[in-house]
Amino acid sequence: MIKIFSLKDSNNAPSAADSSDKVQRTSPAILRMQKDMKELDLPPTCSISHPNPDDLLNFAVFISPDDGYYRGGKFQFTIKIPNDYPHEPPKVLCTQKIYHPNVDLAGKVCLNILREEWKPVLSVNNVVCGLLYLFLEPNPEDPLNKEAAECLLANRQTFASNVKRAMRGAYFSNVQYDAVMLT
């Protein structure tokens, strides 16, 4: 009987010298990322940068909304793809301190597809478009920054003013925000 999942005898195992000649095995996460990058179809307001071209699992995303409260800003996120991707969602962090109902001051992002609604059929393209959507339509009903969410629900004009001030690097509510306005 053939045991498909059993390990080979140590006699048949390749030596270290033999294995160095063989191509290193590519992980499923890397294979999926190669596919995701080939199929990437981002709007002109979004871009991706790989600081290390040899590392497909860690990269930066830049979003520059052309509409809404955050128009005129440029926002950067780091994305780390876990080894069990696409079965687990990417880990996303905003690198700047911004005033947003769905991004806390530590950079954590509240986006449903990064949590309970993640499915392996989703891709990096879906994640980036989801981040862009958060800037076009902030969701005060599912906040990480409760103060920003309450302000958005209570008075949209005050919220808009706070966003513009924060994007210029203002200090308010005991927080120094990062200047993210494009020049």
From the candidates 46, 94, 110, 151, give the one annotated as an active-site residue.
Answer: 110
Whether the ω angle into residue 86 lies within 30 degrees of 0, i.e. cis, is: yes
Which helix (DSSP H) or strand (DSSP E) does residue 125 occupy? Answer: helix 124-136
Q: How far is CA 143 from CA 7, 103, 112, 159, 174, in A?
A: 49, 8, 11, 14, 19
Q: How far is C-alpha 131 from the chain's CA centre? A: 7
Active site residue 110: yes
Report the catalytic residues.
Answer: 110
